[in-house]
Amino acid sequence: MFWFLEKNDIKSSAISGLIWTNLICAYGMLLSFIYQGYGGISITFSTLSILVSYVYAYTFIKALQQIPDHHPSKNWFKASLFFNVLSSLGTFYLAYMMVSKNVDQNYYLGSVYFFLHFQYSGWFLFAIAGLFFAKLHEIVGFRYNPKIFLYFFVSCIPAFFLSILWIKLPWYVFIIPVVAVLQQLWGLKLFLEMMKSQYEIIKMQERD
């Protein structure tokens, strides 16, 4: 994502510093979790990592204000940062249970899956999509379909229920993940149709 800002001549030393700080926190978590598991040092590094991600999200979204609203990557990047912040709620609740020694198996697994879902299906997926569409946007004549983002964004939160199907929930609650899957499939259909219809444009760009 930092590449995207540089590509659009947006300089931000703060973001570069935040990336390095997050890397230090990541190594701190790696070593401290190996040494003590959930303890004072590991929780401190994980908390700092989350706080850094909050500052990064704010700083990056502020930098994105310099990008025109019609740019296809803008909403994908903003959504990825939103889901990254949202995922941290699972981490905080998990840390709370560990510190308070009040661990419920369902809540424990639910917190883990909450974090992982919004990391993989939110933060990672939307950030990669933003970079992907940024490259396609450079191709002269490429036409982006904004409905693709809409379907994937709207379905991301309800799709979390797919991660907790093992919990005994009322039958009607399972309608939510079914609708989410249908939205994702429709978004995927629009994406494939867009790529198919403009395959020759993309192919010509690769030859050049």
Confidence at residue 73, expressed as pLDDT on a 0 to 100 scale: 92
38-52, 76-90, 190-204, range with greatest mean pLDDT: 76-90
Are 106 and 167 in contact, with CB atoms under 8 Å apart? yes
Separation of alpha carbons 155 and 150, rounded Å:
9
For residue 145, name the pLDDT band (cuts at 50, 70, 90).
very high
For residue 131, name the pLDDT band (cuts at 50, 70, 90).
very high
For residue 106, name the pLDDT band (cuts at 50, 70, 90).
confident
| Residue pointed to by tokens 């930092």 | 2
Q: What are the strands, taking DSSP E only, across the chain?
A: none
Are 91 and 129 in contact, with CB atoms under 8 Å apart? no
> pLDDT tens, 3-13?
677 666 677 77
Measuring CA to CA, how many Å separate 121 from each of 41, 106, 161? 29, 21, 12
Task: Kindly state the helix (H) or strand (E) to which residue 201 belongs, with its residue range.
Answer: helix 199-207
| Residue pointed to by tokens 């510190």 | 99
Separation of alpha carbons 139 and 206, rounded Å:
10
Separation of alpha carbons 168 and 90, rounded Å:
20
Confidence at residue 19, expressed as pLDDT on a 0 to 100 scale: 85
**How many other C-beta atoms are found inside a 10 Å radius of the C-beta of residue 49?**
19
**Which residues are CB-contacts of 194 (< 8 A; sequence separation ≥ 6)?**
143, 144, 145, 148
- For the CA atoms of 79, 80, 86, 87, what is the dihedral angle to 10 degrees? 150
